[in-house]
Amino acid sequence: MSTIKIGIVGCGRILNAHLRGYKTLYDQGYDSFRIVALCSRREDNAQRFRMRGEGPAPITPIGRGAGDPLAVPPMYVSDIHDDVAVTIYTDYKQMIDRGEIDVVDITAALPVHHEIALYALKSGKHVMVEKPIALTVRMARTMCEAAEDMGLVIGVAESARYSNSLRAHKWIISEGLIGEVQMILMGGVGLGTWSPDRVLANTPWRHKKLQGGGGISIDLGVHMFNRAMYLCGPLDTMSAMTAIFEPKRKLYDEEGKRVLGEVECSVDDAYMAVARFANGGLGQFSCTSAGHGPNYQVPGGFIIYGSKGCLREGRMFCDDGSSDRVIELFETRAPRKLLTKQFPHGIRDVFALEKYDFLYAVETQRNPEMDGIQGLKDLVAAYAVLESAFAGRAVLVSDVEQGAVEDYQREINHHYGF
C-alpha cells in the first residue's frame, strides 16, 4: 500500500487532539497518509475541521489544562496537508461505499462505535476507534472477530499507553529492578472542573446506561486498567462496589458559566475495586467524578510495590537504600533500539504515537500494540467492576471476557440487538 487514505467519522472536540497527532506525524516526515474525508451527522460540524479560515467558528476547547486532549486548540486538516480536497459526508455508509478510503478512523460517540466499525470492516476497511472500543464486551468481541475474519487491522486509540512515563515504568518492572510486583494503587477523588456535579465533557450520553454503558468505571476505567495490566500483567479476579453520588449533573454553556439544564444519571460516578492479578499481585483501584472540596489523586498516578522496592511519584526506591528518577534511568540505560522502537522519528506526542502504531500496522499487515484484543481486555476489566458490583460478589475476569458473566450488560446488549 502506498498512500493510506483516511476517512474520519465523528467531528467533536476530541478530533482536535487526533488531528494534532496526525500533524505531528506528518511534520516529522511520516507522510504516507492523507485524510481525504470527514463525516458528521451535521455537515457544519465536519466543515469546522476541513480548512483553516473557512467554515463555521470552531468549537470552544474545554478541559482541565494543557495535558487534557479536550483542551487542544482548533486544528484543521489543512494544517496537516493541503494537497488533497477533503470530501464532507453526513452518512458514514456513503463515505465507506464510495470506496475511496482505506481506513476508517472513528472518533464518534461511544454508542455508535460498534455500528460504524462493523460496517467498515465488512466493507474491507481497516478501523481505528476511540476508547472504549465498544459499548459492551459482546460488541467488542464481535468487532475483533470481524477484523480477524476479514484479515483487517483494528486499533484502539488508547493514547496514554504511549507516554514516556508509562514506558519508563514498564521498562523498570520488566528489568526486575523492583523485583516481582506485589501491589499497585491507582485512583483518587474528583476530576477537576467536572467535579462534583458537572456533565462530563459536556456530553450527557456519558451518564446514560444505554449510551455510555457505565459511568466513570467505563469512561476512565479503560484507561486505568490498560495501564495496570501493561505494568502488572493480566487480571484474574475483581471485587468492586459502585455508587451514584450525584444523581443529577449540570450542563453548562460553552463558556461554562450559565446552567442550561440538568441530566439524570443512570450510571456510576464512583467505584472502588480490589483485584488479584494472574501473578498473585494485588491491586486497589478507585475513581469518582464527584467529590466536594479539593481533588485528590494518588501521587504520580499510581504507586507500585515490588519484592525489592517500589515506584512512586516518578522515582524508584530500592531495598539497598538507592533512589533514582524513573524517566532518567529509562532514558540513559534502556537500549537505544527499544527507545527508537517506542518513539519512532523521535516523537513523544501520545496521539501521534498511537496513529503511527496503527498506520504502520496497516502498512506492514501486522497487529498494532493497541489492537482490538487489547481494547477488548481493557473493556472487560472495566466491566468486571460493574458486573461485580451488580452481582454483589467477586467475579473472574475471564468469565466477563467470555460472556459467562454479563448480567449488568444484558439490558444494553438487548437494546442494540446483540
- The CATH number of the domain holding residue 219 is 3.30.360.10
Same-domain check for residues 195 and 142: no
Same-domain check for residues 20 and 103: yes
Same-domain check for residues 147 and 169: no
Q: Are 197 and 249 in contact (CB under 8 A)?
A: yes
411 assigned to some structural domain: no
Q: Are 18 and 11 in contact (CB under 8 A)?
A: no
Q: 116: domain range?
A: 4-161+347-369
pLDDT at 64: 67
* 20-57 pLDDT, tens digit each: 999 999 999 999 999 999 999 999 999 999 999 998 98
237 assigned to some structural domain: yes
* 285-302 pLDDT, tens digit each: 999 999 999 999 999 999
User: What gap in Å lies between CA 49 and CA 86, rounded to an integer?
Assistant: 10
* 206-227 pLDDT, tens digit each: 999 999 999 999 999 999 999 9
207 assigned to some structural domain: yes
Pairing outcome for strands 181-189 and 282-288 = parallel
52 assigned to some structural domain: yes
User: What gap in Å lies between CA 342 and CA 209, rounded to an integer?
Assistant: 37
258 assigned to some structural domain: yes
Q: Is the pLDDT of residue 252 over 90?
A: no
Cell digits for 2?
A: 502506498
- Rounded alpha-carbon distances, angstroms, from residue 206 to 109, 267, 287, 316: 9, 8, 15, 37
Phi, psi angle pair for 153, to nearest 5°: -90, 135
395 assigned to some structural domain: no
User: What gap in Å lies between CA 113 and CA 149, rounded to an integer?
Assistant: 19
CA quadruple 145, 146, 149, 154: dihedral sign? negative
Burial of residue 96 (CB within 10 Å: 0-12, 13-18, 19+) is buried
Same-domain check for residues 131 and 26: yes
Residue that is last in its domain, among 309, 335, 361? 335
Q: Which residues of 402-415 are buried (b: 16+ CB within 10 A; e: fewer)?
A: eeebbebbeebbee
* 384-410 pLDDT, tens digit each: 999 999 999 999 999 999 999 999 999
Same-domain check for residues 208 and 327: yes
Residue that is last in its domain, among 312, 335, 358? 335
Structurally, how many domains does the chain consist of?
Answer: 2
Residue partners of 80: CB distance under 8 A and separation at least 6:
19, 22, 23, 26, 35
Same-domain check for residues 21 and 132: yes
pLDDT at 1: 58
Q: Are 382 and 217 in contact (CB under 8 A)?
A: yes
DSSP string, 175-241: TTTT-SEEEEEEEEE--GGGTTTBPGGG-GGGG-HHHHSSSHHHHTHHHHHHHHHHHH--EEEEEEE
Same-domain check for residues 129 and 59: yes
- Could you give the 3-state DSSP secondary structure of residue 401? helix
Q: Are 138 and 330 in contact (CB under 8 A)?
A: no
240 φ/ψ sector (left φ>0, alpha ψ -120 to 50, else beta): beta
148 assigned to some structural domain: yes
> How sure is the predictor about 61, in pLDDT bands with cuts at 50, 70 and 90?
confident
pLDDT at 66: 66
Q: Are 135 and 411 in contact (CB under 8 A)?
A: no
Match 474545554 to its residue by C-alpha cell: 62
**CATH number, domain with residue 50:** 3.40.50.720
Which among 8, 14, 117 has a CA at the least distance from the CA of 61? 14
Same-domain check for residues 186 and 331: yes
Return the H-helix or E-strand segment holding 385: helix 372-391
* 321-332 pLDDT, tens digit each: 999 999 999 999
Global pTM?
0.96
Cell digits for 253?
A: 454553556
Same-domain check for residues 146 and 233: no
Same-domain check for residues 88 and 179: no
Cell digits for 332?
A: 540513559
Q: Are 269 and 243 in contact (CB under 8 A)?
A: yes
Q: What's the half-sphere exposure (Cβ side, CA atoms, 13 Å) at 294?
A: 2
> How sure is the predictor about 70, in pLDDT bands with cuts at 50, 70 and 90?
confident
Q: Is the pLDDT of residue 71 over 70?
A: yes
Cell digits for 88?
A: 464532507
131 assigned to some structural domain: yes
Mean pLDDT across the chain: 95
Match 501493561 to its residue by C-alpha cell: 230
> Which residues make beta-bridge pairs with 250?
198, 262
Same-domain check for residues 223 and 82: no
